[in-house]
Chains A and B, each alone.
Chain A
Amino acid sequence: MKLRPAPPDKNLVERGEILDAVGISRVLRRIAFEIIERNGPAPYLVGIRTGGAVLAERMVEMLAASGESRPVLGAIDITLYRDDVFLGLPKPEIGATELPESIEGRTVVLVDDVLFTGRTVRAAMDVLADYGRPRAVQLAVLADRGRRELPIQPDYVGVRLQTTADQSVRVMLADRGETDRVVLRERITK
């Protein structure tokens, strides 16, 4: 699938860089090793499209390149499971859900870029439930910006941030035609 950067939002201004390319790579490496430290070799990583799927793939490559057994890599699209699908126009593009091996009885590590309200993760768990009954589901995120609206907590966190409702955290990835960066942005109200 082609990945494209999200359309620019004129009302959002950048307030600072949280991670640069080296920082992202360092954080992903740490999380990847934490995952195998806790679960043993060859875990089952499932990225949430689009950002999480890119990050999961990078972690799989990092582990394989370090001489570890290659983890199973899956990706899911949660569009059809969102609780706010119809607050706006339906999203005209949906990514593929690909789970190359059965998740039945496995420990699955969900990977997302930014953890915020927890609604995306809730939807992702519903997707998994439709494919089987994993033994356990864990959650790895590159950035946790707080402000949860559901009782969901991550197992592996890259960076933890305190943010306000007007702020947003954006993960830019080379795979989406941008430079690898994580930035804090703020909505300006006129």
Chain B
Amino acid sequence: MTKGFTQRHLLGMENLTREEITTILDLGERFLEIADRPIKKVPTLRGKTVINLFLEPSTRTRTSFEIAAKRLSADGVNFTASSSSTVKGETLIDTAMNLDAMNPDIVVIRHAQAGSALLLSQRIRAGIVNAGDGAHEHPTQALLDASTIRAHKKKIEGLTVVICGDIDHSRVARSNIFALRTLGARVRVAGPRSLLPIGVENLGCEAFDRIEPALEGADVVMMLRIQLERKAGSRFPNTREYARYFGLNARRLALAKPDAIVMHPGPMNRGVEIDPGVADGPRSVILEQVSRGVAIRMAVLYLLGGGSGEEWSKS
């Protein structure tokens, strides 16, 4: 398989090839080791500037990108919603063009609007990493999920992966469907019909309005939070009822394969979509997802931080 990644931006998983995804996953394995060194830092991106433009609340993803940039010796600058000029009425494009005038090498953007990362990539010179744009995509989450699955199952091709929860509002679900389909997995989505987007089957997955049949024979179970901030609460009676019908507990997990792993992109609502016993149980890989997130983001920054020119060669 030929390896390589020549994209200037990481906007989503939809248009990445299997080779490009595999290149990032393999690099991620190398970057994972840096976290265990006495000095958790390599000089690779010295002198490069990475701006984290987070216009939607985020702790995990922003911190993860920040640590990834620091471990590669890049200079990171954070812009968060509360401190940015967008609250003073500036448009996203104006904010971006102002940032671009400061000549950053990479801009990592999180925004409530789908398509915002693409819009930025058309307006500014820096490489853009989409860290979540509305309900559209969250590519680094799908990459770290694929990395975690591959580490436990040794392969992704042929696996059955269940994604359960608020599929309609979930960029994580969308990016995972694209990535896992490209890598050859079978994807099932499950949730109340009111939270399954119409036509989700067209993305190449099977849809279930009950969790039990979806779980049968699954290798990977990925639980998603109900996005109450996107008014998902109006789509079902109440969270107690949701937990009763769609929450992952030990009894339901027993329907999946005996070696199935349990994943969650966070933030987790214990007792709603996932039972604490399962979240902290032996089959949960939730915290490993977080560790791998840093390594995957390092791989992405490394690949986008490069200049263009002649092929790398060792004389």
Chain A interface (Cβ within 8 Å of chain B)?
6, 77, 80-81, 85-97, 116-117, 120, 126, 130-132, 168
Contact = CB atoms under 8 A, between A and B. Distances in A.
A88 B312 contact: yes
B30 A92 contact: no
A92 B305 contact: no
B3 A89 contact: no
Majority DSSP secondary structure for residues of B touching A: loop
B312 A89 contact: yes
A132 B312 contact: no
Contact of A86 (B33, B37, B42, B307): B307
Contact of B305 (A86, A91, A120): A86
23 contacts: A6-B313, A6-B314, A81-B44, A86-B306, A87-B309, A88-B309, A88-B312, A89-B6, A89-B306, A89-B311, A90-B305, A91-B312, A92-B4, A92-B5, A92-B23, A93-B23, A93-B26, A96-B33, A97-B33, A130-B38, A130-B41, A131-B38, A168-B315
Contacts of A131: 37-39
B92 to A, nearest CB: 29
A168 B308 CA distance: 24
A88 B308 CA distance: 6
A94 B34 CA distance: 13
A126 B43 contact: yes
A168 B41 CA distance: 33
B303 interface: yes
Contacts of A86: 305-307
Contacts of B159: none
Interface of B: 3-6, 23, 26-27, 30, 33, 37-39, 41-44, 72, 302-303, 305-315
Given A90-B303, A92-B23, A131-B38, A80 B309 contact: no
A132 B37 CA distance: 10
B1 to A, nearest CB: 10
Given A92-B23, A130-B37, A87 B44 contact: no
B19 to A, nearest CB: 9
A80 B301 CA distance: 12
Contact of B30 (A87, A90, A96, A120): A96
Contacts, number: 70
A126 B73 CA distance: 14
B222 to A, nearest CB: 28
Contacts of B4: 92
Contacts of B314: 6, 120
A80 B33 CA distance: 13
The 10 closest A-B pairs by CB, nearest first: A90-B306, A80-B42, A130-B39, A80-B44, A88-B312, A94-B30, A91-B312, A92-B3, A86-B307, A92-B23
Contacts of B6: 89
Contact of B43 (A81, A116, A120, A168): A81
Contacts of B3: 92-93
Nearest to A127: B42
A80 B42 CA distance: 6
Contact of B42 (A81, A89, A91, A116): A81
Contacts of B311: 88-89
Most buried by B among A91, A92, A168: A92
A159 to B, nearest CB: 17
A90 B39 CA distance: 23
A124 B192 CA distance: 56
Given A80-B42, A80-B72, A168-B315, 11 more contacts: A6-B314, A81-B44, A88-B311, A90-B302, A90-B303, A91-B312, A92-B27, A116-B315, A117-B315, A130-B42, A132-B38
A97 B41 CA distance: 14
Contacts of B315: 116-117, 168
Nearest to A114: B315
